[in-house]
């Protein structure tokens, strides 16, 4: 339940930052948008949505014990998808500061985005497979 409440607070905070509704709440002298920008506000919004989804899926698993294996597998797959998406989008965005350094004539950010993304996906695949095997073993033991 705490995850859902924290998620709702983060979503409300992102909404207040984006709309500038701080004036109606008595926070007229505080403006976080120049500090955070669209990227930081989007991160707060995404974190709030993820917390709400995690809380709702945890509550669903507690209520429906017979579908626990399926829900845990779906949760793990969703987390792996979000990890792969963050590697595909976040890593190239984070590589910009590393372009100041050069390695054999190429910017280091290039290597970080190209090779680091592939290494991250391989690690993600192995971690996902190990956890899915653990979920399957626990599910087989309960039947």
Least reliable range by pLDDT among 4-18, 29-43, 62-76, 112-126? 29-43
- pLDDT single digits (tens) 103-117: 888 888 888 888 888
Helix (H) or strand (E) holding 69: helix 68-94
Pick the more confident residue, 140 or 84.
Answer: 84
Token readout for 107 is: 């910017």
Report pLDDT for 112: 83
Residue 141 is predicted with a pLDDT of: 65
> For residue 29, what pLDDT is reported?
56
Q: 13: which 2 tokens?
A: 């905070």
**Chain mean pLDDT for the chain:** 81
* pLDDT score of 57 more than 90: no
Q: How many CB atoms lie within 10 A of CB 95?
A: 19
Q: How much is the average pLDDT of 61-80? A: 84
131 falls in which pLDDT band (50, 70, 90)?
Answer: very high
Measured in residues, the chain has a length of: 143
Domain spans, the chain: 1-63, 66-143
Q: How confident is the model at residue 32 (pLDDT cuts 50, 70, 90)?
A: low
6-19 confidence digits (pLDDT tens):
888 888 888 877 77
Q: Is the pLDDT of residue 134 over 90?
A: yes
The owner of tokens 């998406």 is: 85
- Work out the angle between the directed axes of helices 68-94 and 108-142 (0-180°, nearest 10): 170
d(CA 118, CA 1): 36
């Amino acid at each position: 339940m705490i995850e859902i409440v924290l998620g709702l607070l983060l979503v409300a905070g992102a909404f207040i930052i984006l709309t500038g509704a701080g004036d109606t709440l008595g926070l007229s002298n505080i403006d976080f948008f120049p500090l955070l920008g669209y990227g930081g506000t989007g991160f707060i919004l995404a974190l709030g949505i993820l917390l709400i989804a995690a809380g709702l899926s945890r509550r669903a698993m507690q209520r429906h014990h017979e579908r626990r294996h399926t829900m845990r597998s779906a949760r793990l797959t969703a987390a792996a998808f979000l990890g792969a998406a963050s590697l595909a989008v976040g890593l190239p965005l984070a590589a910009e500061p590393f372009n100041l350094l050069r390695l054999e004539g190429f910017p280091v950010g290039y290597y970080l985005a190209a090779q680091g993304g592939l290494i991250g996906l391989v690690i993600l695949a192995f971690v996902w497979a190990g956890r899915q095997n653990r979920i399957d073993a626990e599910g087989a033991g309960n039947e």
